Amino acid sequence: MAVIINENYLLIKSNYIFSEINQRVEKYQNDNPDVDIIRMGIGDVTRPLPRAVVEKFTEAVQEMGDAKSFRGYGPEQGYDFLINEIIKNDYAPRGIDLAPDEVFISDGAKCDTGNIQEIFGLLNTVAVTDPVYPVYVESNVMAGRTGPMGDDGRYQKLVYIPCTEDNGFVPELPTTPVDLIYLCFPNNPTGTALTKEQLAQWVDYARENNSIILFDAAYEAYIREDNIPHSIYEIEGAREVAIEFRSFSKNAGFTGTRCAFTVVPQELVGFDGEGNPHSINSLWNRRQTTKFNGVSYPIQMATCAVYSPEGQKEINESIDYYMNNASIIRNSLENLGLRVYGGINSPYIWVKTPQAMDSWQFFDLLLDEAHVVGTPGVGFGPSGEGYLRLTAFNTLENTEKAMERISKLNL
């Protein structure tokens, strides 16, 4: 007998789009070697780590090289010194009480949002907003919860909740019951956010239907407007129905450094086949202690510096820098008469394609005529068709140059 693979992996389709982007860009560059292509599709930050973070990081590395201060394995859930900083700075000022054992430090929101589904049964119905950050979908495909993709580009057993111009990018409550609901706000890729009242409808739905919301708040630091919740726990009752994912990637430039955390409140319960309740917090703790050995001490020390006054100052400067890019992109495209969304509470700008072009036609037009690379919206799900995502993470110079070039097009 030969080894049998997990055939669910063969059901994954969507990665083709990202290799397709690279192929088209590469081909264009080979055919036009002198053209300077500006990449506005990237979801990665470009500004360096704050100095306060680098200093703490360096200090902690030195400690690890000294027998007196060396540390081996740390707690799988993270060191209390960082957990306490998170609770004190991110939650307490918003009136949210969290216990230290409700916060789990990790090396990324990608892993946590991808791994969380492991603690839930395979028979749960899963809902995602469409378009969507692909990790939620593909981790469930791998687990076997979705079935194959149909001709309509949707996995057959997944519930898709469209977020488009037609509903103002506010997901409507599902018409058939769902158990697990992934929500990401401010949203990647649409860049739009939900108000407290809009998010409260989902919390109420989850409470009424015994569902669990998996709330990804990776872009929380970009929120500028007052009525947008920074945490789902600002909504009454959310502790009973929501897990929250946060990351230091996009607020503090940790994409290459890796630190994030997940909040799992003690009130959250799921049920076994006989209807007995079980603590979701205990299951996640079990999962993490079995499969994860914690984030390194120097990184957790460095992350603490994110909350220092100097760290905060530098972080805010970087976020302001990106958000200035975002408003340049928004204004330039609006001046061209395009319909533009996002970019107010997030670094993503979601552009409706002009002249009824599809996502790929608009992608090709921008590449060929402005030498600017975006991400075709259809890559994030069927409801992304007819849109293109641009990001504010490039330099100011490149952002301005890209907008100047696009402004010369006849759109």
Contact letters for ligand PLP, residues 44-63 (x by CB under 6 A):
--------------------
Those residues whose C-beta lies under 8 Å from the C-beta of residue 307, and which sit 6 or more positions away, are 85, 86, 88, 89
Asked whether position 43 contacts ligand PLP by CB under 6 A, the answer is: yes
Measured in whole angstroms, the distance separating CA 387 from the mean position of its chain's CA atoms is 19
CB of 292 to ligand PLP, least distance (A): 14
Judged by CB under 6 A, how many residues of this single chain contact ligand PLP?
A: 14
CB of 106 to ligand PLP, least distance (A): 8
Distance between CA atoms of residues 84 and 76, nearest Å: 15
In the set 108, 191, 265, 298, which binds ligand PLP (CB under 6 A)? 108
Q: Which stretch binds ligand PLP (CB under 6 A): 106-114, 233-241, 389-397, 399-407?
A: 106-114
Q: What is the 3-state secondary structure (H, E, C) of 6-50?
A: CHHHHHCCCHHHHHHHHHHHHHHHHHCCCCCCEECCCCCCCCCCC
Residue placing its CB nearer to ligand PLP in the complex, 116 or 365:
116
In the set 52, 87, 103, 109, which binds ligand PLP (CB under 6 A)? 109
Task: Outline where DSSP puts E strands in 173-330.
Answer: 180-184, 212-216, 242-247, 260-263, 269-271, 277-279
Whose CB is nearest to ligand PLP? 108
Element of type H or E holding 128: strand 126-130
Q: 191: annotated binding-site residue?
A: no
Q: Residue 227 corresponds to which amino acid?
A: N
Give the sheet arrangement for strand 260-263, strand by strand.
Answer: 103-106, 260-263, 242-247, 212-216, 180-184, 126-130, 159-162
Asked whether position 382 contacts ligand PLP by CB under 6 A, the answer is: no
Q: 110: annotated binding-site residue?
A: yes
* Token pair of 205 as six digits: 């739905």
Q: 287: annotated binding-site residue?
A: no
Residue placing its CB nearer to ligand PLP in the complex, 184 or 232:
184
In the set 38, 126, 218, 315, which binds ligand PLP (CB under 6 A)? 218
Residue placing its CB nearer to ligand PLP in the complex, 363 or 393:
393
Q: What are the beta bridge partners of residue 341?
A: 350
| Helix, strand or coil, per DSSP, at residue 70 | coil
Q: Which stretch binds ligand PLP (CB under 6 A): 12-20, 95-103, 139-147, 247-255?
A: 247-255
CB of 41 to ligand PLP, least distance (A): 12
Asked whether position 184 contacts ligand PLP by CB under 6 A, the answer is: yes
In the set 247, 345, 375, 391, which binds ligand PLP (CB under 6 A)? 247
Distance between CA atoms of residues 370 and 411, nearest Å: 12
CB of 254 to ligand PLP, least distance (A): 7
By DSSP bridging, strand 180-184 and strand 103-106 are: unpaired
* Token pair of 337 as six digits: 């008469």
Asked whether position 133 contacts ligand PLP by CB under 6 A, the answer is: yes
Residue placing its CB nearer to ligand PLP in the complex, 102 or 244:
244
Those residues whose C-beta lies under 8 Å from the C-beta of residue 300, and which sit 6 or more positions away, are 74, 78, 79, 81, 82, 105, 259
Those residues whose C-beta lies under 8 Å from the C-beta of residue 37, and which sit 6 or more positions away, are 25, 28, 29, 367, 371, 372, 373
CB 141 within 8 A of CB 113: no
φ, ψ dihedrals at 9, nearest 5°: -60, -30
CB of 208 to ligand PLP, least distance (A): 26
CB of 400 to ligand PLP, least distance (A): 24
Compute the Cα dihedral for 256, 258, 259, 261 and give only its sign.
Answer: positive
Only one residue has tokens 């692909």, namely: 134
Asked whether position 190 contacts ligand PLP by CB under 6 A, the answer is: no
Q: 346: annotated binding-site residue?
A: no
Measured in whole angstroms, the distance separating CA 281 from the mean position of its chain's CA atoms is 22
Q: Which stretch binds ligand PLP (CB under 6 A): 107-115, 157-165, 323-331, 371-379?
A: 107-115
Asked whether position 194 contacts ligand PLP by CB under 6 A, the answer is: no
Annotated binding-site residue numbers for pyridoxal 5'-phosphate: 73, 109-110, 133, 188, 219, 247-249, 258, 293
* Residues contributing to the site for ligand PLP (CB under 6 A): 43, 108-110, 113, 133, 184, 188, 216, 218, 247, 249, 255, 260
Annotated binding-site residue numbers for substrate: 16, 43, 110, 133, 188, 293, 389
